[in-house]
């Protein structure tokens, strides 16, 4: 359990309470058991991006509200310099950097994602509403979607229905880095 998981869980619980939604109702909306949902709120369970994205949609807030606790403020332009972005380190295998965290009313959620080698893809299948575009920057990865596996290398891209269960796994001994744009 990390401090970030505890903070995200606390914000999730607070937003749910503010919206006067029961934990049981929220669990049903997110298609998880009440026990699973309670573990998310207490920070005992690691969040998938899909879970957070769907929770934000259900609560009518920006994804960044749940992740950082601050509402995006910029409406014209949000600049992120090289290596920047709001860091989300959910587990050892994945690191996300939100590349538009300060922009409000986003129509998409862009991330720089790093997947460490030797992570297990099969255990991390997830899905969420919308579509997604991934562009490989460095390294190589196996991309699993809808029962098909693609090997992606730098310069390769994939656009898909993110409602299809999907995941990725770095191939080789170097991390796989890609830009992921989730479209609402």
Domains in the chain, ordered, with CATH? 3-68 (1.10.260.40), 86-183 (2.60.120.10)
Predicted pLDDT at 75: 80
Residue 121 has pLDDT above 70, yes or no: no
Predicted pLDDT at 136: 98
Q: What is the mean pLDDT of residues 108-123?
A: 80
In the chain, alpha helices (H)? 3-18, 23-29, 34-41, 49-59, 63-68
Predicted pLDDT at 93: 77
Strand, helix or coil at 124? Answer: helix
Q: Are 101 and 64 in contact (CB under 8 A)?
A: yes
- Quick one: tokens of 28? 């049903």
Q: Residue 68: pLDDT band by 50, 70, 90 thresholds?
A: confident
Length of the chain equals 184
Poorest-pLDDT segment among 52-61, 154-163, 173-182: 52-61
Q: State the Cα–Cα distance between residues 128 and 149, nearest whole angstrom.
A: 19
Indicate whether this model's pTM tops 0.85: no
Task: Give the number of other CB atoms < 10 A from CB of residue 45.
Answer: 18
Residue 122 has pLDDT above 60, yes or no: no
Predicted pLDDT at 119: 65
Poorest-pLDDT segment among 15-24, 39-48, 84-93, 130-139: 84-93
Q: What is the mean pLDDT of residues 90-107?
A: 85
Residue 32 has pLDDT above 70, yes or no: yes
Query: What is the layout of strands, in order, in the sheet containing 140-145?
Result: 148-152, 140-145, 166-171
- Mean of all residue pLDDT scores within the chain: 88
């Amino acid at each position: 359990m990390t401090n970030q998981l505890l903070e995200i869980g606390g914000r999730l619980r607070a937003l749910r309470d503010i919206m006067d939604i029961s934990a049981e109702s929220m669990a049903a909306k997110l298609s998880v058991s009440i026990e699973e949902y309670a573990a998310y709120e207490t920070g005992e369970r690691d969040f998938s991006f899909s879970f957070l994205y769907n929770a934000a949609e259900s609560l009518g807030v920006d994804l960044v509200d749940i992740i950082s606790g601050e509402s995006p403020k910029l409406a014209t332009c949000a600049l992120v310099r090289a290596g920047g972005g709001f860091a989300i380190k959910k587990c050892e295998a994945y690191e996300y950097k939100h590349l538009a965290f300060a922009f409000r009313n986003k129509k998409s959620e862009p991330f720089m994602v790093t997947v460490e080698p030797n992570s297990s893809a099969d255990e991390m299948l997830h899905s969420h509403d919308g579509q997604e575009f991934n562009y490989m920057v460095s390294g190589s990865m196996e991309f699993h979607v809808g029962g098909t596996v693609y090997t992606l290398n730098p310069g390769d891209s994939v656009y898909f229905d993110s409602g299809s269960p999907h995941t990725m796994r770095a191939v080789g001994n170097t991390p796989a880095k890609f830009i992921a744009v989730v479209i609402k």
